Structure 1
Amino acid sequence: MSDLIFTVENDIARITLNRPDSLNAFSLEMIDLWIGALETIRDSDNIRAVVLNGNGRGFCAGGDVKAMVRGEGFLQSDGQLDITSTALARKNSIWKKVQRVPLILQEIDVPVIAAIHGVAFGAGFDMALACDIRIAAENTRISESYVKAGIVPGDGAAWFLPRLIRMDKALELLWTGKQLSAQEAKELGLVTHVVEDEKLNDFVNEYVEKLANGPKETMRFIKRAVYQGQEMSLRNSYDMISSAMGIVTELEDYQEGVRAIAEKRKPNFK
């Protein structure tokens, strides 16, 4: 079986991490397939939403610790860093492989939902942080566990965490590697929804289908306005969003939305 499963059905893409015996810890095959799947999604005009999840007992344990103990490192055939190489080679290996995943995720304009269960540790949780919405089962345990292996958070935590929670809380999680429950993560602002374990799939499916039925281009513009707005002045944000308004009001979805409101019915967006 492939280390990652990628499917598209009813305009919804699903990426499933598929190394259940290793709690979906990264492998080179998984990362390569992940990058390919995300590039396909990014370049598609038809995909309207994305779900990222993991098979088996957990979402993703990040790096393969057993391989680290064997001294096999990162991003060899088992997905670990080759500790026998030079520092520059290791840096380039991380940059060209695992760090490509969150970078490409940032280029995807449609909603991306992470469905988290079991464990989401280290780089595994960082991949969820790179998604737009995080929905966690009650049993989920979350940790930025890099410090316990004596490594820095190389996959996005140092960038994402301070943007989602307070600086001191971000540093505390990174310095201690503390494990959080799903509810604790939600209270901090790291998780959007927490649902009962057995209801996770149904909740996620209903949630993503609702998003996929929205006005596609409008939702793309909304996502881009929110993310780019973090790097803009208010004046530049207004300029961008007024341009988007000019475009979307020429689209059929705008006409359908206005008619549906006037007729007091549910809109049928294309």
Structure 2
Amino acid sequence: MKDLLFDVNDGIATITLNRPNARNAFSMQMIELWIQALQKVRDHDDIRVLVLTGNGRSFCAGGDIKAMKSGKGFLDLTGYEKEDFSSSSLERKNSLWKHVQRIPILMEEIDKPTIAAVNGDAIGAGLDMALQCDMRISSDQARFGEGYVNVGIVPGDGGGYYLPRIIGIDKALDLLWSGRIIDAHEASKIGLITKMVSHEELMVETNSLARRLADGPQQAIRLIKRTVYQGLKTDLRTSLDMVSSFMGIVTEHPDYKEGLSAIIEKRKPDFE
């Protein structure tokens, strides 16, 4: 079986991490298929929303700790084989950059909504992958943690970038320095997840949100995403200048006229 499954159904793409017996820990095949799937999501306009989830009891455990201990392959929290890390620090850096770090770069290039359906433990790089999504819907059985410090390494997959932006610097450092595991209730309290639901309702809730976004005005949704993320990197004047350009674009799109008509006629809009 493939270590990652990719499916597109009526505008909603779903990436399912598929190593349930290994808690969906990374493998080289998983990373390669992940990159290919993200490229398709980025480049195909018929895909409107991306959902990321895991098969089995875990969302993603990051690196394969059992493989590390057995010596069969040095799968640390980046997920790469021993030979990639044996020669020099530069080669180890380049291996990260060419493989697993392509995932957050591709995620940043996707203008469409991305949702993590966290079905179980999201640990280390697994948590980082959930953080890369725009929203995180979590099972009440899920647990979260940044385990890098426990094996004496640094977060190599974006945790040090995303975590403080989502929950604040002090709370991020608490999780990163302690390596402790928190449950979904604490994750909800500190703002790590968007919403917590019962385990049984996780995919129902996630698919309902994905459907609502997929049926919405796509150009407006994508430009709103750009506005939010670019706004984190620019000053107010630059952001307002950009969004005024966006407004000029969307008000010429058929979705704008359809939205106005639907409000006036008190009906559900039928966006393109």
Bin of the TM-score, shorter chain as denominator length: over 0.9
Partners of 2:57 and 2:133 in 1: how far apart? 21
Deviations 1:92-136 (A, max 9, x none): 111111111111001000100000022100000100000000000
Whether the 8 Å contact between 2:60 and 2:123 is mirrored in structure 1 is: yes
1:109 equivalent among 98, 108, 111 = 111
| TM-align CA RMSD | 1.2
1:267 equivalent among 255, 265, 269 = 269
Partners of 1:231 and 1:69 in 2: how far apart? 41
Task: Work out the percentage of aligned pairs sharing the same amino acid.
Answer: 55
Alignment partner, residue 50 of structure 2: 50
Whether the 8 Å contact between 2:57 and 2:120 is mirrored in structure 1 is: yes
Alignment partner, residue 28 of structure 2: 28
**SS state of the match for residue 73, structure 1?**
coil
Whether the 8 Å contact between 1:64 and 1:80 is mirrored in structure 2 is: no
Query: Deviation above 6 Å: which 4+ runs of structure 1?
Result: none
Whether the 8 Å contact between 1:4 and 1:34 is mirrored in structure 2 is: yes
Partners of 2:264 and 2:53 in 1: how far apart? 39
| TM-score normalised by length of structure 1 | 0.97
Whether the 8 Å contact between 1:6 and 1:37 is mirrored in structure 2 is: yes
Alignment partner, residue 66 of structure 1: 66
Residue ranges of structure 1 left out of the alignment (5+ in a row) = none
**SS state of the match for residue 138, structure 2?**
strand
Deviations 1:231-261 (A, max 9, x none): 0110000011000000000011000000011
Structure 1 residue 207, shift from structure 2 partner: 1.1
Residue ranges of structure 2 left out of the alignment (5+ in a row) = none
Q: What does residue range 110-129 of structure 1 map to in structure 2 within 5 Å?
A: 110-129=112-131
Q: What does residue range 230-269 of structure 1 map to in structure 2 within 5 Å?
A: 230-269=232-271
**SS state of the match for residue 250, structure 1?**
coil
Alignment partner, residue 9 of structure 1: 9
Structure 1 residue 80, shift from structure 2 partner: 4.1
Partners of 1:140 and 1:95 in 2: how far apart? 29
C-alpha distance 125-110 of structure 1, shift in aligned 2 (>3 A)? same
Partners of 2:164 and 2:122 in 1: how far apart? 18
Structure 1 residue 88, shift from structure 2 partner: 1.0
Instruction: Supply the AA of the counterpart residue of 1:11.
Output: G
- Between the two proteins, the alignment pairs up a number of residues equal to 268
Whether the 8 Å contact between 1:68 and 1:80 is mirrored in structure 2 is: no
Whether the 8 Å contact between 1:115 and 1:134 is mirrored in structure 2 is: yes
Alignment partner, residue 207 of structure 1: 209
